[in-house]
Amino acid sequence: MAMNKNTVLAWATTIMIIVGLGLMAMGAFRYDDVAGWGFGAVGVGFFAIAWVFNALKGRV
């Protein structure tokens, strides 16, 4: 399977969305103290980076 730059960016976007959802779920359901807010914030950060990767598809 030949992977060009767009395929790599698509896989990176997908993986980062999955990890971001996992981090936000950990923040919401696992931790009840301040750590939950930290996990949620990092999950949102993963979403932001995935959005940038998605916007770069076709441009690099």
Helices (H), 1-60: 5-29, 34-56
For residue range 36-48, list pLDDT tens digits in order.
Answer: 999 999 999 999 9
Report CA 8 to chain centroid distance, whole Å.
Answer: 14
Q: Three-class SS of residue 1?
A: coil
pTM: 0.82
Q: Tell me which residue has tokens 């981090």.
A: 23
The confidence score (pLDDT) of residue 53 equals 87
Alpha carbon of residue 48 to chain centroid: 7
Which residue shows structure tokens 């999955």?
Answer: 18
